[in-house]
Amino acid sequence: MSRPPLDLTGRRAPSNEELSLARQVIRRSGLVERLSCYLDSETGRPRRIPLEALLVCFQVNALQRHHQAHVIEVARLMNAMTDAQRESLGITSWDEAQAYARVDWLYNRLCTVLSAGIDGLDAQWFADCLVRASIPRRYELTHSVAVDGTDVETWGAFQGSTTVVLDGEAAETQSTAGTPASVKATKRAKVVAVGPDGRNQYTPDPDARAGHRSANGQHPAGPYIGYELHLGVQVRDVRWTNYVDKTTLSDKVPHLIRSAVLVPAGTHRTKTMTPILIAAKARGEKLRDVLWDPGYSECRPETWSYPLGRAGISSTFSLTMAQRGIRPFSKRAFVLDGQLFSDLLPAELRDLPMPPVNLPDQAKAPAYEKHFNERARWRLVRHSAPDRNGVSRWRCPFCAGLLKSRSFPSTMRRGPGVKIAFLPPTVTTCCDGTVSAPPADIPLSQLIPFGTTAWRISMNRRNAVESVNAALNGGYLHLVRGFFRVFGLTKLRVLLGFSLVAVNFDRIRSFEAKKAELENKDLPRRRRRRRPGSWQELLGDLDNRAVQLFAGAVGPPG
Ligand SMILES: [Zn+2]
């Protein structure tokens, strides 16, 4: 018995604007030039779809709000196009009934080439090229990204029971706090196979693995099968700070996805994301500061803060209870909550509570921060930046001018802005001079001391990832089970690339709309409102040298 014929109708034809935007993204990505030599012999034949046409149509599909990343949707789209639109893409002798077979064949062919990974041309490279092509240069504005992850459930169905056990690095690195005991203590799901990575495969999806996810509006906390999508989202820079209670941020920027990587669930988070960030910087991308979600910064510093530090990228993060507290450093200084402090720090400022995680009234935060701010005046101040080996030099707060005391008469000449510290009469010296600190001694040190008001303002930049998460979880698309209906990392990464491009365009549109609203607020009502963030605006910007270059290099095939 064969299945009923596929319904290949029901879509509207894309507008020429959508088509043109999608084509510019694909040309800007440079994908066709790099891949055509591996696919050309197949696509050159008549009655086949040119590679560029396939990629453009995948992109047009993703440019629809609430789209599904289904191959059949692309076939429907091609059927809905006018003959002129298809011809402009080099598609000739179109047979509607064959649409799905032809799209699916070329998509699979593309995935086969990418899984071979010749010359580094793999699915991660493919998605990277698309994401980069979606950021007009004038919006790549800051040197800071916030890193966060979101779960992507596999389309594969369980074979038998529905409970899984975390394995691989998921068990060590992903906190399961908040999981109800009833979920933890049920029988194991049937293991279909064990993958080449030694981890259990529970569904027909060969790359989906078990991971833990925290609760949100759609599901409770617990294990799931699938993938994790790690995102680096552009946020504002710290423009200036006094390291205690004041921080000024750069102008608002659109929260664009600058880096993205999809990996099997339960894969080590920072081992995945750190190399992606370092590679972006090596490629010439602006990057000086990374804001980590606690799910990442609780990993060992060898996997994030050291390698990033060596690449000239600082980290901003919160500390877990286990990461807090005092560690010995030298005779006259110790490490407290990641930061170097003078041993003269008063006892009552050593163990400070943080505000509760879900503090209902943000106005309460200053009551906690007050003590951290006071403590920050007792920190050691960096005297010289890290050398080639990461060793930095530090001065005590009295030598550096943060404090003055009658015990050290020379410091009393400092102005009225410098606080007086009252020390026991036994103290006669403030320090033993400048000290050197290798990275291993201060693995959790950050630019602005943890817990201070200045630190909170900087850390709150991380909230930007919420707007991207909202776009991915209902605002622009629904990254839930069923959004993809294919199996395996390569196929998912290819489809995801197009969707991330569309999310970035949506972020730009939303950013421009908000800006225009603010600008128009005080104008008389009669004035006709301009339409902010239209395709035309985006198109105008994408039409830069890179596009012209590619446009010259590859015309539409056929
Ligand atoms: Zn000193």
114 lies in the same domain as 127: no
Considering the domain boundaries, does residue 300 fall inside one? no
In the chain, the number of structural domains is 3
Considering the domain boundaries, does residue 83 fall inside one? yes
| CA–CA gap between residue 48 and residue 106 (Å, rounded) | 8
Contacts of 531 (CB under 8 A, 6+ apart): none
Side chain identity, residue 389: N
Residue 550's SS3 state is helix
Distance 433 CA to ligand 1 centre (A): 6
Considering the domain boundaries, does residue 236 fall inside one? yes
**Sign, CA torsion 343/344/345/348:** positive
20 lies in the same domain as 44: yes
Distance 435 CA to ligand 1 centre (A): 10
Distance 436 CA to ligand 1 centre (A): 14
User: pLDDT averaged over the chain?
Assistant: 87
281 lies in the same domain as 384: no
373 lies in the same domain as 426: yes
Domain boundary among 440, 468, 499: 440
* Structural Rg of the chain based on CA atoms: 27
| CA–CA gap between residue 109 and residue 35 (Å, rounded) | 11
Better-predicted residue by pLDDT, 364 or 316: 316
Mean pLDDT across the stretch 413-425?
Answer: 92
Domain boundary among 404, 425, 440: 440
Residue 187: CB atoms within 10 Å: 10
pLDDT exceeds 50 at position 335: yes
| CA–CA gap between residue 243 and residue 375 (Å, rounded) | 11
pLDDT digits (tens, 9 = 90+) for 486-508: 999 999 999 999 999 999 999 99
Range of the domain at 157: 122-294+446-521
The predicted structure's pLDDT at residue 538 = 59
pLDDT digits (tens, 9 = 90+) for 205-249: 999 998 888 887 778 888 889 999 999 999 999 999 999 999 999
Considering the domain boundaries, does residue 456 fall inside one? yes
Distance 454 CA to ligand 1 centre (A): 24
The predicted structure's pLDDT at residue 557 = 32
| CA–CA gap between residue 83 and residue 97 (Å, rounded) | 15
Q: What is the SS3 string spanning 335-395? A: EECCEEEECCCCHHHCCCCCCCCCCCCHHHHHHHHHHHHHHHCCECEEEECCCCCCCEEEE
261 lies in the same domain as 115: no
Distance 241 CA to ligand 1 centre (A): 23
Distance 332 CA to ligand 1 centre (A): 9
137 lies in the same domain as 281: yes
Contacts of 210 (CB under 8 A, 6+ apart): 164, 165, 166, 167, 170, 199, 200, 202, 223, 224, 225, 265, 266
Distance 385 CA to ligand 1 centre (A): 19
Considering the domain boundaries, does residue 312 fall inside one? no
Distance 96 CA to ligand 1 centre (A): 80
Distance 431 CA to ligand 1 centre (A): 4
Considering the domain boundaries, does residue 311 fall inside one? no
**What 8-state DSSP symbol labels residue 96?**
G
Distance 260 CA to ligand 1 centre (A): 46
pTM: 0.86
The predicted structure's pLDDT at residue 219 = 81
Domain boundary among 440, 475, 506: 440
Contact call for residues 470 and 477 (beta carbons, < 8 A): no
288 lies in the same domain as 150: yes
pLDDT digits (tens, 9 = 90+) for 434-489: 999 999 999 999 999 999 999 999 999 999 998 899 999 999 999 989 999 999 99
Distance 412 CA to ligand 1 centre (A): 13
Contacts of 273 (CB under 8 A, 6+ apart): 147, 230, 232, 259, 261, 296, 304
- Ranges assigned E (strand) in 236-287: 238-241, 247-249, 257-264
Considering the domain boundaries, does residue 364 fall inside one? yes
Distance 413 CA to ligand 1 centre (A): 15
The predicted structure's pLDDT at residue 473 = 92
230 lies in the same domain as 154: yes
Distance 377 CA to ligand 1 centre (A): 13
The predicted structure's pLDDT at residue 1 = 54
204 lies in the same domain as 251: yes
Binning pLDDT at 50, 70 and 90, where does residue 377 land? very high
Distance 410 CA to ligand 1 centre (A): 11
CA 483 and chain centroid, separation: 20
pLDDT exceeds 60 at position 551: no
206 lies in the same domain as 290: yes
433 lies in the same domain as 452: no
The predicted structure's pLDDT at residue 555 = 34
234 lies in the same domain as 127: yes
User: In sequence order, what are the beta bridge partners of 394?
Assistant: 382, 435
Distance 415 CA to ligand 1 centre (A): 18
| CA–CA gap between residue 394 and residue 410 (Å, rounded) | 20
Distance 306 CA to ligand 1 centre (A): 28
